[in-house]
Structure 1
Amino acid sequence: MRRPGWAAPGRWSLARQLLALQAAIVALLVGVGATLAYLDARRATDERAAHTVTALAESIADAPDVRAAVAGPVPSRVLQPYAERIRHDTGVDFITIMSPAGIRFTHPNPARIGGRFVGNTARALAGHEFTETYTGTLGPSVRTVVPVFGDGHRVVALVAVGITIRAISAELRRRLLVVVGVAVMVLAIGIGGSYLVAARLRRQTRGVAPGELRGMFEYYEAILHAVREGLVLLDRGGGVVLCNDAARELLDLPADGPGGRHVGELGLPEELVASMTSPEPRADEIHVGDTRVLVVNTSPVRSGDRAMGNVVTLRDHTELQGLTGELDTVRGFAESLRSQAHEAANRLHTVVSLVELGRPEQAVEFATADLAAAQRLTDRVVGSVAEPVLAALLLGKSAEAAERGVELEITEDTAIDGVVEPRDLVTILGNLIDNAVDAAVENAGVRPPRVRVSVHREDGRLVLQVADSGPGVDPADVPEMFRRGWTTKSSGGPVGHGLGLALVGRAVRRHAGTVEVAGDGGGDDGAVFTVRLPLDAR
């Protein structure tokens, strides 16, 4: 039965799996390290024991007192106290001095003096010292046997010094306790550090298992690439962390994506970059580019008080903006018809009143003259402008201007023969005329309100010029006029606040044309906008 709180390893959180893995690795490393340390300590202990007994045996064999005692009548009487004193001082287990025949002169157990030495002595009798591990009367031991040379380099005695394996093991156990203590301490520190790392990871991943993380990533990846809106994630420094397919298309980025570059290095307009990297939220900002109109929303992301970056959503507003422009044109036409109907009603009332007053001749003269003037304007516009939509636009703007008390003059040289996309011409002329009429009305107290429109060919280009009697423009404002949001009006028109000139600039750039702005209000005209569109740039 599964215990409460127990989970299969496959369902463990990422932090828990990391803790288990790190603990296993630390335990393995500590175990290997402890084993190697034990083997090294054992080797060092054996080497130390061999070195100790060898050095001590050599020093005893070289002692003159030993050579003299061996030559005496009773060697044990002198050598036994001497050997025991050295044994106690050095901590070795036995010092045996014997005759070449192997008869003991000394032994830790006095009862064994006079007995035969248990072990090999052949190499020592040949004049060579050696060290071996051998089981003697005191048990297994590490011993060194050294010859004692007399006159003529003759072996007169042998010295055997040894340390029992039991004593060596006791020393090794003392060292092993230190090794085990250090290993346990390192293991505890390693597991403790792993726990702290795992706890931090658990807080950051909120205890989600790797399988769940993988599933969430796959779902999010599918969602990001399925949505039609563009989505861009930026880090705190403005670097692109994520950019879905829709965003790459809307921003005209290469297929391989921005590759972590800063958003300012992607060739985007400065205003768009500023909006995307803004530390404050931006809602439904419209940005007009050369080929698209984008609605941008920027939402800063925070973790507590720490800024993490921005989430930017992009919506393509181009088609909607085109429909809005067409709707604005239709509204303009409707307003023009309303104005014309209103004006016709006024004229009709005047004619009826003249008839009622018994002046039919004046009524006929008034009606004929007014209709002739309107027909002349219509004939001239229709004859000069081959595109019906543009002709209707100019007639409608003329009626609107007249209703607002502004004289809209269409110059005699105006001629449009359909060489440029009508929608773009409607965008350019419609917005320029609207702005010109507003400026003329604003400055009506200084000059008679008037707007002059001229469209003609010149040096392979189509030249559109709109002049007004307004207050003019400040030359310092000219570089900013065609950017989104620039306006001198207190309220927006049908196409949005501060968008008219931005749309004009976009249409002109699309045709590789230019816009010139002149007039500071000091001459006969206020502002004069001149647009030049190459006729071979379609």
Structure 2
Amino acid sequence: MVANLKRPTLAGQLLVLQLAIIVIVLVAVAALSLAQSAATFNRVEGRRVAALAEQLADNPLIRAQLEQPAPGAALPALVQATQTQSGVSSVTVADTRGIVVDSTDPTLVRERLPLGDQSVAHGRSWSGELRLNGTLELVAQVPVLGDQHDNLGRQLGVVVIGEVSPTLWQRALDASYNIGIYLGLASLVGLTGSWLLARRIKRQTLGLEPREIAGLAEHREAMLYGIAEGVIALDPHHRITLVNAPGRALLDLPEDCVGRSLGELDVDGRLAEVLSGGDASSSRGRDQVVVRAGRVLVMNRMSVTGLGSVTTLRDRTELAQLEREMGSFRSTTELLRAQAHEFANQLHTISGLIQIGEHDEVVQYVDALARHRESLDLTLTSRVHDTAVAALLMAKSAQAAERRVRLKISERTSLDRLEPADAADVATVVGNLVDNAIDACCSGDDAWVEVELRQDTSTVEIVVRDSGPGVAESLAREVFSHGFTTKVAEQGERGIGLALTRLICTRHGGEVAVTGAMFTARLTVGGTS
């Protein structure tokens, strides 16, 4: 069984790392302090021993004793007195041959004096570290020169004064008090700073450990790139901070879009308003319909305090195409439902007349219904020769009548039979515009909708008017890009009809526009069938 060792926390790891850095810095500071102490000792003591050596070499007694073949008792007394008065470690005197004639270290007497530099034998002074009898000392070697007429300037010997160099341990012990204070203060400050920094990082990471942060990052990548919907995030300055592959494809953005602003990417109009929150509805988190690069997109924007916003995108183009393909079936279903409701009301009326014995009234009522139906059928079949569009208008007439709206076919209407693909697109545009018009005027009195279809060799023009209030002039140019709807309820899927209308007209090389309560759509068709 393998033991499950507890992994150190992020704060613990940071603390250990910072402590290691502090220890390294403190050791370096201590080493520099000791090196500085050694340099100071060499400088100060070097000057002192050099001055003492020069002073001793200039002593007349030294010159007199060195000129004698056998120095007398005066020289040892002078050497001992110099050591006692100055407190140096050693005092040594050698003759011109380099043989020690007297020294505070008896073992050096009659031994050859080691020279720090050969220039000392030629009348030059020298100072530095030198090992004498196994002991490392800081010494000064000064030549003794004659001052009499017969020996003026001639070297009589060498005076050496030395001070034992302290070891590293001795220097550390000497400076232990100060170094201890410095190290203690530095350690206390370092520990406190490390603890505060660890707490700050802990707060910034919301108390998460590295493995948890790594897990969140992996889950984020899996969520962003594992879903079919597009996701795009903007910072408060409307620069893209994140976008997944579906979002980049839906918005037709380049590969290097992250870090660039909407303006730099030429994103403007309705799309820029929804992404940046300029639209009041989008800022409240409602679904918005936007047409972008031939796609019908449903977008939902959520603001994130201090970070910007995140917008999700759903492609509804295929759904709109499916709706277009199923338009004829839906129209037939609506026609049957509306006619069933209308026939039920008519049968109830006939049944009531029979029950009260008004048989003549029954006949007159049935004749009126037949004339109305024949008139509507004759109007449609004589002016609209495409069966798909005619069936749609018949269904919309029944649907409008159910909502107390009168659907009229303009006397200027003339439409020949179209190719099946063109007929489906024309029926979709007519159905969307008629539905929009019925919704806009159904709440008024004497509501009506008029449809006018005109056709030339290559173009079909669809004009739908209604008795409603119409579209405000300020919204006339944006109504289709906004996914505008005249429906009272504000739901996320509203407004796709108008966006789909514009998309179909654009694909057919046409356009759609609105002036007040009149919508005009133009489509290029392949010809008549």
TM-score, normalized by length of structure 2? 0.74
Matching residue of 1:528: 518
Name the CA distance, whole Å, in 1 between partners of 2:205 and 2:440: 60
**What is the 5 A alignment of 1:27-42?**
27-35=23-31, 37-39=33-35, 41-42=37-38
Matched, 1:508 2:510: no
Using a 3 Å threshold, how does the CA distance of structure 1 residues 281 and 460 change in structure 2: closer, same or farther? closer
Matched, 1:373 2:372: no
Aligned length: 506
- Structure 2's unaligned 5+ residue stretches are none
**What is the 5 A alignment of 1:252-331?**
252-254=252-254, 256=255, 258-262=257-261, 265-266=264-265, 268=267, 270-278=269-277, 282-290=284-292, 291-302=294-305, 307-320=306-319, 326=326, 329=331
The answer (yes or no) to whether the contact 1:286–1:293 under 8 Å persists in 2 is no
- Note the C-alpha offset of 1:415: 0.9
Matching residue of 1:163: 163
**Partner deviation per Cα, 1:469-494 (whole Å, 9 max, x = no partner):** 5555543331232243645654469x
Secondary structure of the residue that 2:414 maps to in structure 1?
Answer: coil
Matching residue of 2:433: 432
Matching residue of 1:53: 49
- Note the C-alpha offset of 1:436: 3.5
**Partner deviation per Cα, 1:59-83 (whole Å, 9 max, x = no partner):** 54357797689889x9987996799
Secondary structure of the residue that 1:12 maps to in structure 2?
Answer: coil
The answer (yes or no) to whether the contact 2:145–2:156 under 8 Å persists in 1 is yes
Name the CA distance, whole Å, in 2 between partners of 1:58 and 1:483: 103
- Note the C-alpha offset of 1:120: 0.4
Name the CA distance, whole Å, in 2 between partners of 1:483 and 1:250: 16
- Note the C-alpha offset of 1:88: 4.3
Matching residue of 1:341: 343
The answer (yes or no) to whether the contact 1:301–1:310 under 8 Å persists in 2 is yes
Using a 3 Å threshold, how does the CA distance of structure 1 residues 60 and 335 change in structure 2: closer, same or farther? farther
Name the CA distance, whole Å, in 1 between partners of 2:456 and 2:45: 111
The amino acid that maps onto 2:523 is L
**Partner deviation per Cα, 1:159-202 (whole Å, 9 max, x = no partner):** 22211235997556535765565455445544543333333233
Using a 3 Å threshold, how does the CA distance of structure 1 residues 430 and 240 change in structure 2: closer, same or farther? same
Using a 3 Å threshold, how does the CA distance of structure 1 residues 223 and 455 change in structure 2: closer, same or farther? same
Name the CA distance, whole Å, in 1 between partners of 2:345 and 2:518: 29
Matching residue of 1:204: 204
Using a 3 Å threshold, how does the CA distance of structure 1 residues 163 and 204 change in structure 2: closer, same or farther? same
Secondary structure of the residue that 1:532 maps to in structure 2?
Answer: strand
Using a 3 Å threshold, how does the CA distance of structure 1 residues 85 and 334 change in structure 2: closer, same or farther? farther
Using a 3 Å threshold, how does the CA distance of structure 1 residues 437 and 266 change in structure 2: closer, same or farther? same
Secondary structure of the residue that 2:13 maps to in structure 1?
Answer: helix
The answer (yes or no) to whether the contact 2:440–2:487 under 8 Å persists in 1 is no
Secondary structure of the residue that 2:301 maps to in structure 1?
Answer: strand
Secondary structure of the residue that 1:414 maps to in structure 2?
Answer: coil
Matching residue of 1:461: 459
Name the CA distance, whole Å, in 1 between partners of 2:319 and 2:168: 93
Matching residue of 2:195: 195
Matching residue of 1:482: 480
Secondary structure of the residue that 2:258 maps to in structure 1?
Answer: coil
The amino acid that maps onto 1:286 is Q
The answer (yes or no) to whether the contact 1:248–1:257 under 8 Å persists in 2 is no
Secondary structure of the residue that 2:307 maps to in structure 1?
Answer: strand
Name the CA distance, whole Å, in 2 between partners of 1:236 and 1:514: 36
Name the CA distance, whole Å, in 2 between partners of 1:423 and 1:348: 38
TM-score, normalized by length of structure 1? 0.73
Secondary structure of the residue that 1:289 maps to in structure 2?
Answer: strand
**Partner deviation per Cα, 1:198-246 (whole Å, 9 max, x = no partner):** 3323333455454444344334423432233333344444433333344
Using a 3 Å threshold, how does the CA distance of structure 1 residues 399 and 486 change in structure 2: closer, same or farther? same
The answer (yes or no) to whether the contact 1:149–1:156 under 8 Å persists in 2 is yes
Using a 3 Å threshold, how does the CA distance of structure 1 residues 214 and 497 change in structure 2: closer, same or farther? closer
Matching residue of 1:142: 138
Name the CA distance, whole Å, in 1 between partners of 2:188 and 2:228: 53
Secondary structure of the residue that 1:399 maps to in structure 2?
Answer: helix
Matching residue of 1:120: 113
- Note the C-alpha offset of 1:408: 0.6
- Structure 1's unaligned 5+ residue stretches are 520-526
Name the CA distance, whole Å, in 1 between partners of 2:299 and 2:361: 65
- Note the C-alpha offset of 1:346: 8.2
Name the CA distance, whole Å, in 2 between partners of 1:474 and 1:134: 106
- Note the C-alpha offset of 1:285: 0.8
Name the CA distance, whole Å, in 1 between partners of 2:11 and 2:525: 67
Using a 3 Å threshold, how does the CA distance of structure 1 residues 451 and 295 change in structure 2: closer, same or farther? closer
Name the CA distance, whole Å, in 2 between partners of 1:438 and 1:47: 102
The answer (yes or no) to whether the contact 1:134–1:143 under 8 Å persists in 2 is no
The answer (yes or no) to whether the contact 1:92–1:163 under 8 Å persists in 2 is yes
Name the CA distance, whole Å, in 2 between partners of 1:360 and 1:237: 74
- Note the C-alpha offset of 1:289: 1.5
Matched, 1:393 2:383: no
The answer (yes or no) to whether the contact 1:15–1:207 under 8 Å persists in 2 is no
Matching residue of 2:20: 24
Using a 3 Å threshold, how does the CA distance of structure 1 residues 44 and 510 change in structure 2: closer, same or farther? farther
The answer (yes or no) to whether the contact 1:119–1:134 under 8 Å persists in 2 is no
Secondary structure of the residue that 1:260 maps to in structure 2?
Answer: coil
- State percent identity of aligned pairs: 28
Secondary structure of the residue that 1:507 maps to in structure 2?
Answer: helix
The answer (yes or no) to whether the contact 1:354–1:360 under 8 Å persists in 2 is no
Name the CA distance, whole Å, in 1 between partners of 2:444 and 2:346: 28
Name the CA distance, whole Å, in 2 between partners of 1:422 and 1:15: 70
